[in-house]
Chains A and B, each alone.
Chain A
Amino acid sequence: MFVTPAMAQEEHPATEEALPSDHGQPSVEGTVVPTQDHGTEGPFPPMNPEFFASQILWLAITFGIFYLVLKRVILPRIGGIIENRRDRIALDLEAAERMKTDADEAQAAYSQELAEARARSQKIAGDARDSARADAEAERARIEGDLDARLETAQARIGEIKTRTLADVGQIAEDVTQAVLSQVAGIQANQDEVSRAVQAVRA
C-alpha cells in the first residue's frame, strides 16, 4: 500500500479507533473484518492517496463528458426554451396591445354610430309625431266641417218643417173653427171669413 509520510500520521488515530471496535466486541456486533478491503487498516479513507490517481482520472472523464453534454445539448435547449418563451410573451403582449387599440377604436366607432342612430331615431319619431298630429288635425277639421254642414242641413230642415207646420196650424185652426161652428153653433161659416178670423186671432 502506498502511504505518504503525511498520511502516516493520520493512520494511527484511525487504526486505534478502528481496532477496538473491530476486534474488541466481535460477538456483540457480529462484524467481519473485510480482508480483501485494504481501507480498514489504511489511512483515513476520504484522504487515502492510494486512489487519488483513479479518482482524478474518473472525475476528469465523467465531468468532462458531463460538461460537453451540457454545453452541446442541454444548455442550448433550455436556453432555447426560455428564449422562445420570452419571445412568445413579447409577441403576445404586442398582439394584446394591438387588439386593445382595435377594441378601443371599435368602441369609439360604436358609440359614435349609436349617437347618430339615436339622433336619427329622435328625428324620425318627431317627424312621425308631427305628421300624426297634422293628420289628426286635418281629420278633426274635416269631421267638424262635416258635422257643421249636417247641423246646418238639419237646422234648415227643422225651420222648413216648422214653417210648414205653422202653415198647417192655420189650416187646422180654420178647419177646427169651421167644424166647431157647424157642430156647436150650427152656423155654416164661409171659408174666407173663417180664414180671416183665424188669421186675425193668430196675428
Chain B
Amino acid sequence: MANDPIHQFQIARLVPIDIGGVDFSFTNSSLFMVATVAVASAFLYYTTRGRGLVPSRMQSVSELSYEFIANMLRDSTGSAGMRFFPLVFSLFMFVLVANLLGMFPYFFTVTSHIIVTFALAMLVIGTVVGYGIYKNGLGWFRVFVPSGVPGVILPFVVVIELISFLSRPVSLSVRLFANMLAGHITLKVFAGFVVSLGTLGALGIGGAILPLIMTVALTALEFLVAFLQAYVFAILTCMYLNDAVHTHH
C-alpha cells in the first residue's frame, strides 16, 4: 500500500489477546503507546539523573517542560489546582511524545485515533466532574448557573452552559485527533505526488520538485502542530480543571 494515505492508520494485531469475547490484542497502537511512555519516561529520567545544580542542556529541557506546565496550571487554577500537576504533565508529555514519535516514517501515531484522544479527554472531564463533586458536593453543579443572570433567561443560559460543558470532551478529542490525522494524510498525499510524478520521466521529475518542497515544508509544520496540539490539550485541561477547583467563574 505504498500510496494509500490511510494505510498508515491501520491497526495490526501483534499479540492477539481475547478476554471474555472482547478483543484486547496487543496491537501496533499498543506498541507505540508503550514506546511513547518508555521514551518520555526514559528522557525525563536520564536527563535529570545528574541532578545538576547547573543543568546540562538536556536537563534544562526537562526542567523547562516541568516549569512550563507548572506555570500554565498555576496561572489558570491557582495554587489549589497544583494537585493536578502530575495529571496535566503526564497528559502533555504523553500527547507531545506520541505526536513526535508519529513524525518518524513508518511509525504509528497513537493520537491519530479518535478513541485514544477521546479517552484522554474523558479522563480530563471525568477528573473535573469527579473532583468537583467530591470537593463541593452537589453544590458543584452551580457551575452551570452563572450568577447575576436575570431569572427569565436563566434556563436558556443553563442549557447553553450545559451544552458547552458536554461539548468539551468532544472538542478536546476531535481537535487533537483531526489535526494529527489531517496532517499525516496531507503529508502522505504530497509525498505520494513526488513518487507518482517521478515515474513520468524527465518532466515529471522536474514537476516533482514542487510537491517535494511542499512535503518538506509540511514536515516542519507538522512538528509545530505536534507541539502545539500537546500545548493546546494541556492548557484546555488546565482551564477545565479550574471549574473543578473554583465553582464560580
**Inside 8 A of B89's CB, which chain A residues have their CB?**
70, 75
**Inside 8 A of A55's CB, which chain B residues have their CB?**
11, 27, 29-30, 113, 115-116, 119
**Inside 8 A of A40's CB, which chain B residues have their CB?**
1, 7, 10
B233 within 8 A of A: no
B66 touches A78 (CB 8 A): yes
Chain A residues within 8 Å of chain B by Cβ, number: 50
Within the assembled complex, what's the spacing in Å between the Cα atoms of A59 and B1? Answer: 27
Q: How far is the CB of A100 from chain B (nearest CB, A)?
A: 22
Q: How far is the CB of A90 from chain B (nearest CB, A)?
A: 13
**If A53-B24, A62-B34, A78-B62 touch, does A21 touch B44 (CB 8 Å cutoff)?**
no
**If A39-B10, A40-B10 touch, does A81 touch B36 (CB 8 Å cutoff)?**
no
**Inside 8 A of B191's CB, which chain A residues have their CB?**
none
- Interface members, chain B 1-48 (any A CB < 8 Å): 1-4, 6-7, 9-12, 17, 22-27, 29-30, 33-34, 36-37, 40-41, 44-45, 48
A58 touches B29 (CB 8 A): yes
Within the assembled complex, what's the spacing in Å between the Cα atoms of A66 and B98? Answer: 13
Chain B residues within 8 Å of chain A by Cβ, number: 56
- Interface members, chain B 63-111 (any A CB < 8 Å): 63, 66-67, 85-87, 89-90, 93-94, 110
Chain B contact residues: over half helix, strand or loop, or mixed?
helix
**Inside 8 A of B2's CB, which chain A residues have their CB?**
29-31
A123 within 8 A of B: no
A78 touches B115 (CB 8 A): no
Other-chain contact of B63, A59, A65, A78 (Cβ < 8 Å): A78
B63 touches A70 (CB 8 A): no
From A44-52, A107-115, A140-148, A170-178, give the one contacting chain B: A44-52
Within the assembled complex, what's the spacing in Å between the Cα atoms of A57 and B114? Answer: 14
Other-chain contact of B40, A34, A53, A66, A84 (Cβ < 8 Å): A66
Q: Specify the chain B residue showing the minimal Cβ separation from A51.
A: B11
Within the assembled complex, what's the spacing in Å between the Cα atoms of A44 and B9? Answer: 9
B208 within 8 A of A: no
Q: Specify the chain B residue showing the minimal Cβ separation from A57.
A: B24
Other-chain contact of A70, B52, B90, B116 (Cβ < 8 Å): B90
Q: Chain B CB within 10 Å — which of A69, A78, A82 has the most? A: A78
Chain A 57-76 interface 0/1 with B at a Cβ cutoff of 8 Å (1 = within): 11110110111011101110
B53 within 8 A of A: yes
A186 within 8 A of B: no
A37 touches B23 (CB 8 A): no
Q: How far is the CB of B50 from chain A (nearest CB, A)?
A: 9
A77 within 8 A of B: yes
- Would you mind naming 26 contact pairs between A and B with Cβ atoms under 8 Å apart? A21-B4, A28-B199, A29-B2, A31-B2, A31-B3, A37-B10, A39-B7, A45-B113, A48-B11, A49-B115, A53-B23, A54-B25, A54-B27, A54-B30, A55-B115, A56-B115, A56-B119, A62-B34, A63-B94, A66-B37, A70-B86, A74-B44, A74-B45, A81-B51, A81-B55, A84-B51
Q: A53-B22, A58-B24, A78-B63 are in contact. List 6 more A-B contacts (CB 8 A).
A: A51-B25, A54-B27, A57-B24, A58-B34, A66-B37, A77-B48
Which residues of A come within 8 Å of B, CB atoms? 14, 17-18, 21-22, 28-31, 34, 37, 39-40, 44-60, 62-63, 65-67, 69-71, 73-75, 77-82, 84-85, 88
